A and B are shown apart, each in its own frame.
Chain A
Amino acid sequence: MSKSYRDGLPINPEKFVDHLMRLKRGSIGRREFLGLTGLGVATAVMARELGIMPSPAFAQEGLGDRMSIATWPNYHDPATFENFKAETGVAVEVNVFGSNEEMLAKLQAGASGWSLFVPTNYTISTYKKLDIIETLDMAKLANFDGSQQDPRFTGEGTIDGATYAVPKNWGTTGFAVNTKKLTKPITSWKEFWDTAMADGDGRTMVHDYQLTTIGNALKYYGFSFNSLKQDELAKAEELLLKVKPHLFAVSSDYQPSMRAGDAWMTMCWTNDGAQLHRDIPEIAYVLGKEGGEIWTDFYAIPKDAPNKPAGYALLNYLMDPKVAVKEHLANGAPSTDARVNALLPKEVLDNPILYPAAELLTPLEFGAAATLTDPARAELMARFKSA
């Protein structure tokens, strides 16, 4: 979905054609061709998936041969799962979600099939209350070192002394602007919403996610991002209904539209902002100066996980700083782990998208658990979407 479709391909198109011509000229054999282009491996994988060839036996006992993870779009280095499979024989199926609500809905309905998932900080207490996540057995997570974690971001994984989730990375919710299309500098949520109704008319996206869309509308008036107060929510609703006809889309999958130039401005998470800016330098990532959201995403294991051993194994693997550093380089979100930060190149640590200035971070708020289950915010979102 993100980046170029070419990323992660075993071979680039030019090389492929080159090898193909060599095959035609007869300077390489067919078998060599299959090996060089990766087609041989692809065929073997296909054959295995279709059950034509039996899967080989693997060294690690008791992990099974597949597991499933629920996570966010553009959130992992695809090589991580390939390497994990090479080491353990467990193939990882990746499910991608657009909101915490949707993850919770799937887990509440039961039989999600996930053995690991990536909830955001403010949802963990609800999962615990509903008794649908595992108390983590830290003995199985030797690679995790709590003393190296930044305590600002990790608190919500532990409830009453028991650990239910360990952090993956933290980040912020700001907005991305295509500065070639919208040349006036935009620095606040007030300007974001006003621009959406002026220069950004028909080109602005907001998340299909009540927490951030309502939260950042509340920031227009300087209210708390997490407000549940009736009169404040009413003001936010008024703004949202006014902006609605001017929007390009209500969707959490904004990278394709920003890359294609259909959308010029969107609500945006750190990691997407970093990826967009890396590939298209004129897309800037901005934190509204009134504040907004700061978040930590965690790893947790559902109680009904079909393959808990593999879930623990993958989690432990991901906690290895050498693996985690590649994840951070790929997804662009800042790490909570000092060991990982020590391995990150200087230009990453100096990137203001990942590590914003302190005065921009101070007004940010962590999402509050109550917003996740509050019916008033859910209904407001429905009215906004149906308007």
Chain B
Amino acid sequence: MRRNVLRHNLLTALLLGPATAWLVVFLVLPFVAIAVFSVGERAPEGGYQAAFTLTQYANLPARATAFWNTMVLAPAGALACLLVAYPVAYYLALRAPERWRLILLALVVIPFWTSLLMRTYAWMYVLGGRGIPALLAYVGFDDVRLINTPGAVLLGIVYGYLPLMILPIYVSLERLDRRLLEASADLGATPISTFLGVTLRLSLPGVMTGFSLVMILLLGEYLIPTLLGGGKVFFIGNALVDLFLQSRNWPFGSAIAITLVLVSVVVLLVANRISTRLSGARRVDLI
């Protein structure tokens, strides 16, 4: 009996070992290093100099605009993603013919196999002067500018993160018990109130998963605003890149990174809370 328990523990340790080691080396240790840097000072030529001070944290308001831009962009981008993704997921899960479903799903996922950088560069050419504006000039609209506009950034974000939003919503809709929809119709609900009262409600966990996934990634986004926004819109991700790669102020960069991680955790917790409440309170079991 005792030996069994021991063997069981050993097995657990063996199974969890690699993942734990991985996380310790590539997540926990760097995080500790960043935390240590964040209470240090910038060396005169840049970099890190050992110290114990909270000045870096006191200096956070110097990047208030960047934080603010991020706090607006992340939910707005996630919302735009959601508005585009929901109809697609709905069609895939409830309307698409069975034999096409797998192919359509694959089409959603396949672009994800190419690096986001490549796909964003492709958009630079599509939106740039030799792309759509050249076509527009051909039909008489001269000097239209699409690249480096907020619209271009939004487009890039929706395009880049769409699969991450579609998939969780699809999964929650796909598991939806169709008999609930019939019941709702039998009881006299219009299609719209069935959608709002049953379908949408039951897919909310998927919506929340997709929403928080996209939003967390957007909190650290810097590539799309740089490439499609012309580096004019400054997010916290851009602030971090500049602090490490331009002004070489590692301690201040670290303090911002720590703050960003904390904010992300809070966002995740709140999203989780909302989604449990929404789905928990409305759980309907037929059996």
Stretch binding the partner chain, chosen from B15-23, B98-106, B226-234: B226-234
Least distance between A206 CB and chain B CB atoms (Å): 10
B230 touches A251 (CB 8 A): yes
How many pairs of residues, A versus B, come closer than 8 Å at their CB atoms? 96
**Interchain CB contact (< 8 A) of B232 among A126, A244, A261:** A244
Q: Of B42, B148, B242, which is within 8 A of A385 by CB?
A: B242
Contact assessment for A385 and B234 in the assembled complex, using a CB-CB cutoff below 8 Å: yes
Closest residue of chain A to B247 (Cβ to Cβ) is A378
**Distance (Å) between the CB of A14 and the closest chain B CB?**
21
Tell me if B128 and A262 are in contact (CB < 8 A).
Answer: yes
Our pick among B46, B65, B124, B130 for the contact of A108 (Cβ within 8 Å) is B46
Contact A101 B63 (CB under 8 A): no
Decide if B231 touches A382 in the complex (CB within 8 Å): no
Q: Bound complex: CA of A387 vs CA of B68, how far in Å?
A: 11
Chief secondary structure at chain A's binding surface: helix
Tell me, rounded to whole Å, the shortest Cβ–Cβ distance linking B70 to chain A. Answer: 11
**Is B246 a contact of A99 with CB atoms below 8 Å?**
yes
Structural contact, A126 and B45, CB atoms closer than 8 A: yes
* B27 proximal to A (CB < 8 A): no
Asked if A256 is an interface residue, CB under 8 A from chain B, the answer is yes
Q: Could you tell me if B245 and A101 are in contact, using CB atoms closer than 8 angstroms?
A: yes
Least CB distance, B254 to chain A, in whole angstroms: 13
**A101 adjacent to B248 (CB under 8 Å):** yes
> 1/0 per position for A220-245, CB-CB distance to B under 8 A?
00000000000000000000000010
A36 at the B interface (CB under 8 A): no
Contact with A along B38-66 (1 / 0, CB 8 A): 00001011110000000000000011011
- Report the count of interface residues on A (CB-CB < 8 A): 37
Cβ-defined partner of A250 (8 Å) among B69, B128, B232? B232
**Residues in chain A near residue B65, CB distance under 8 A:** 386-387
Is B246 touching A386 in the complex (CB atoms < 8 A)?
no
> Is A26 on the interface with B (CB-CB < 8 A)?
no
Task: Give the distance to chain B from A272, nearest Cβ to Cβ, in Å.
Answer: 17
Tell me the chain A residues, 189-228 only, with Cβ under 8 Å from chain B: 202-203, 205, 208, 210
* B247, A379: Cβ atoms closer than 8 Å: yes
B237 to chain A, nearest CB (A): 12
Note all chain B residues with C-beta closer than 8 A to A385.
231-232, 234, 238, 242
Main secondary structure, interface of B, reads loop
B199 within 8 A of A: no
- How many angstroms between the C-alpha atoms of A130 and B45 in the bound complex? 8
Complex Cα spacing A250 to B227, Å: 10
**Contact indicator A378/B249 (Cβ below 8 Å):** yes
Contact with B248, one of A104, A262, A386 (Cβ below 8 angstroms): A104
Question: What sequence of 0s and 1s flags, for each residue 244-268 of chain B, a beta carbon within 8 Å of any chain A beta carbon?
Answer: 1111110000000000000000000
Are A247 and B246 interface neighbours, CB within 8 A? no
A102 within 8 A of B: yes
Q: Does A354 contact B (CB under 8 A)?
A: no
Q: Is the CB of B234 within 8 A of A101?
A: no
Q: Does A286 contact B (CB under 8 A)?
A: no
Q: What is the CA–CA distance of A381 and B239 in the complex, to the nearest angstrom?
A: 11
Is A375 on the interface with B (CB-CB < 8 A)?
yes
Chain A, residues 90-124, CB within 8 Å of chain B (1/0): the string is 00000000010110111011000000000000000
Any A CB within 8 A of the CB of B7: no
Q: Which of A101, A210, A244, A260 contacts B128 (CB 8 A)?
A: A260
A248 at the interface (CB under 8 A from B): yes
Give Cα A155–Cα B233 distance, bound, in whole angstroms. 40
A208 to B231, alpha carbons, bound, how many Å?
8
Looking across the interface, which residue of chain A has its beta carbon closest to that of B244?
Answer: A105
Say whether A262 contacts B145, CB under 8 Å.
yes
Query: Once bound together, how far apart are the Cα atoms of A386 and B130, in whole Å?
Result: 29
When the two chains form the complex, which single residue of B231, B238, B248 contacts A251, counting CB atoms closer than 8 Å? B231
Q: Which residues of A contact B162 (CB under 8 A)?
A: none
Can you give 19 contacting A-B residue pairs, CB < 8 Å?
Answer: A101-B247, A104-B248, A105-B245, A108-B47, A202-B145, A203-B145, A248-B230, A251-B226, A256-B124, A257-B128, A262-B147, A373-B46, A375-B247, A379-B62, A381-B246, A383-B62, A385-B232, A386-B65, A386-B239
Given contacts A105-B46, A251-B226, A378-B249, 12 further A-B pairs with CB under 8 A are A99-B246, A101-B245, A104-B248, A105-B244, A108-B47, A247-B230, A257-B147, A261-B129, A261-B130, A379-B62, A382-B243, A386-B239
Chain A residues proximal to chain B, CB less than 8 Å: 99, 101-102, 104-106, 108-109, 126, 129-130, 202-203, 205, 208, 210, 244, 247-251, 256-257, 260-262, 373, 375, 378-379, 381-383, 385-387
